[in-house]
Every structure is written in structure tokens, then in C-alpha cells.
């Protein structure tokens, strides 16, 4: 076996782990595959004679690639969200084996990915590498371009955010939370009449410009029309506190969509869909545990 074939064999053995690392950093199956493939290109073009720990070397390379992708993503404010009410939590099906895709998606909860999206690229990388994959801070520091102490602080800030979200906060109005959970359940199951029972007759659905760019309607009025928008179309949506009011959060790939709900006397009177990244940055989001059965 020549050197190239040997490297290819070693890389394929590392590929599943690298894909999980990249997915937890990027939250996108297709982008994770791109990052891993770019890692192979780096390896195939490098002098490997001095590499003592190939797995660690590849993790560092893929982490740097992911960090660059995260930073590039943060700078692209004009990118459409590509998400309205998700009909499927999957993406990139033409590029990744469906069985491996399902296993990979199952390994990372949507709740984790939503919270990771609130972190800066450097915080996200430090947390993922150290807390999830036990990479020491002296190896993380040069990747993020910080001192070891600063890298520790990045992970600590991220950890605090994760703990806060993991604990969650109970909504001030448990009745509103019950309405939201019933609404998501009826939406997922396509129970049109249950949706009508939860919506005010004059309910209004609005979407911001980013959601509209992704295909959402700008404005819909009336219970029947709004119910048709949601019936059978909600997948992977989770109850959340949005600025301390009960709402919901959906995630598909790298994109987040927030549903701000106004509830009066047990009825939903207004739904606002927020997808603009700049607007999302200013929302206080806390994910809520839910007994709702997740869609496969």
C-alpha cells in the first residue's frame, strides 16, 4: 500500500468522528460534510512525517475549517433563511447517506443546536472541543487565536449559557405554555379542528422580511387561513420563552426561526415569525422541556 492509500484508509477510519465534531460545530449536515472533505484535502497535501497523532491533527484542522465557516456565516446577513414552517428536519439528502444522516442527527439534539447558535464562533468551538470532545485548552487556544486562559473563559461563558438554558425557566403563565404545546401537537399531527379551537377567530400571522424571503407569507388573517398554514407542517419545533413570554423555536440546518405568540384568554391572537439574524440576536430565548413527542 502506497502512502496515499494508507492516508486515505486512516482518514476514512476517522471520518465518522470528524463528521460528528463538524456537525456539532456547524449544525448543518451538508456543511459538516464539506468541512470534513476539506480536511481530507489538507491531509492529502500535507507532509505527514511529523504527525504523531493523526486523529488529533485532523480534529484541529477540521475545527479551524469550521471556525472559518462560522465566522463567514456570521458576516452574511443577506442570506435568506430557507425555512418557513419546516416540513422536514433534514437537509443535504443528495449528499449524505440517509442512514448515516439519521444517526448523526440523532446524536445531537435540536435543543443543543439552537442554544449553540446563540454563542459566538469562538465560544462555540471552545465549548464543543473541550466539553464534548475533551480537547485540552492548550490545543484549543491556537485555533481560536487566544491565550489558554482566554480559551478557558470562552468555554466557561458558553457553559454558563448552556446550563442556564438547560435549567430553563417556567413561564409565568402555565396556561399559555399549555396552549403553545397543544398548538404544536395539533400542527404536527395535522389536526385542523384542534388548531381552530386554539386560534382566535381574528388571529393574525405575520413574518419578518427574512422569513418572507424564505417563503413565508407576509401576513395571513383569520383562524381558518392560519390553521391551513400550520396544519401538518410543523417538525422539530420546540416550546421556548421568547423575551419571557411563551413561544416556540424551530431550527433547520444553520437557520433559526422564532415564533412569538400573543395569547389572550386561552386563544392565540397573534403569531410573529422572526428569522432575521440581527433581530434574533436581541431576543432572550430559553428553551423549555416539553412532553410533546418529537417527530421522527
Return the CATH class of domain 3-167: mainly alpha
The x, y and z cell numbers of residue 48, run together, are: 505527514
Cβ(280)–Cβ(256) below 8 Å:
yes
Q: What is the pLDDT of residue 97?
A: 52
Characterize the bridge pairing of strands 199-207 and 267-274: parallel
Which pTM does this prediction carry? 0.54
Q: Where are the domains of the chain?
A: 3-167, 174-287
Q: What is the pLDDT of residue 122?
A: 92
Cα 184 from Cα 190, distance rounded (Å): 10
Q: What is the pLDDT of residue 79?
A: 41
| Right CATH for 174-287 from 3.40.109.10, 3.90.190.20, 3.10.450.50, 2.40.160.20 | 3.10.450.50
Residue 284 backbone phi and psi in degrees, to 5? -90, 105
- DSSP code for 132: I
Q: What is the pLDDT of residue 111?
A: 55
Q: What is the pLDDT of residue 161?
A: 72
Cα 274 from Cα 39, distance rounded (Å): 35
Cβ neighbours of 237 (radius 10 Å): 27
Cα 13 from Cα 94, distance rounded (Å): 23
Residues facing 219 on adjacent strands = 206
Cβ(252)–Cβ(113) below 8 Å:
no
Cα 236 from Cα 230, distance rounded (Å): 13
- Gyration radius of the chain over CA positions: 21
Residue 240: exposed, middle, or buried by beta-carbon count in 10 A (0-12, 13-18, 19+)?
buried
Q: What is the pLDDT of residue 65?
A: 95
Average pLDDT by stretches of 10, the chain with 296 residues: 82 90 84 93 87 90 93 56 35 45 50 70 91 89 93 89 55 70 86 87 87 77 89 77 83 76 87 84 72 37
Residue 204 backbone phi and psi in degrees, to 5? -125, 130
Task: Give the residue from 254, 282, 209 showing the smallest Cα distance to 76.
Answer: 254
Q: What is the pLDDT of residue 289?
A: 61
Cα dihedral value 135, 138, 144, 145, nearest 10: -170
Amino acid at each position: 500500500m502506497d502512502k496515499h492509500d494508507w492516508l486515505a484508509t486512516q482518514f476514512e477510519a476517522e471520518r465518522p468522528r470528524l463528521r460528528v465534531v463538524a456537525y456539532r460545530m456547524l449544525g448543518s449536515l451538508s456543511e459538516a460534510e464539506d468541512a470534513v472533505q476539506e480536511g481530507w484535502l489538507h491531509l492529502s497535501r500535507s507532509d505527514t512525517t511529523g504527525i504523531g497523532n493523526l486523529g488529533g491533527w485532523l480534529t484541529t484542522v477540521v475545527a479551524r475549517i469550521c471556525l472559518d465557516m462560522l465566522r463567514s456565516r456570521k458576516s452574511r446577513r443577506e442570506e435568506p433563511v430557507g425555512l418557513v414552517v419546516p416540513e422536514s428536519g433534514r437537509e443535504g439528502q443528495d449528499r449524505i447517506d440517509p442512514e448515516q444522516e439519521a444517526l448523526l442527527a440523532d446524536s445531537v439534539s435540536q435543543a443543543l443546536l439552537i442554544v449553540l447558535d446563540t454563542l459566538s464562533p469562538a465560544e462555540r468551538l471552545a465549548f464543543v472541543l473541550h466539553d464534548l470532545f475533551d480537547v485540552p485548552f492548550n490545543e484549543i487556544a491556537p485555533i481560536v487565536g487566544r491565550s489558554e486562559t482566554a480559551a478557558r473563559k470562552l468555554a466557561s461563558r458558553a457553559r454558563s449559557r448552556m446550563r442556564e438554558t438547560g435549567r430553563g425557566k417556567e413561564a409565568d403563565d402555565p396556561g399559555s405554555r399549555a396552549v403553545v404545546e397543544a398548538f404544536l401537537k395539533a400542527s404536527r399531527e395535522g389536526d385542523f379542528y384542534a388548531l381552530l379551537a386554539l386560534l382566535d377567530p381574528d388571529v393574525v400571522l405575520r413574518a419578518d422580511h427574512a422569513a418572507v424571503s424564505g417563503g413565508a407569507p407576509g401576513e395571513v388573517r383569520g383562524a381558518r387561513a392560519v390553521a391551513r398554514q400550520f396544519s401538518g407542517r410543523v417538525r422539530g419545533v420546540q416550546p421556548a420563552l421568547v423575551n419571557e413570554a411563551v413561544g416556540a423555536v424551530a431550527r433547520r440546518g444553520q437557520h433559526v426561526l422564532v415564533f412569538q405568540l400573543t395569547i389572550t384568554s386561552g386563544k392565540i391572537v397573534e403569531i410573529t415569525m422572526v428569522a432575521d439574524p440581527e433581530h434574533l440576536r436581541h431576543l432572550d430565548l430559553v428553551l423549555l422541556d416539553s412532553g410533546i413527542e418529537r417527530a421522527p
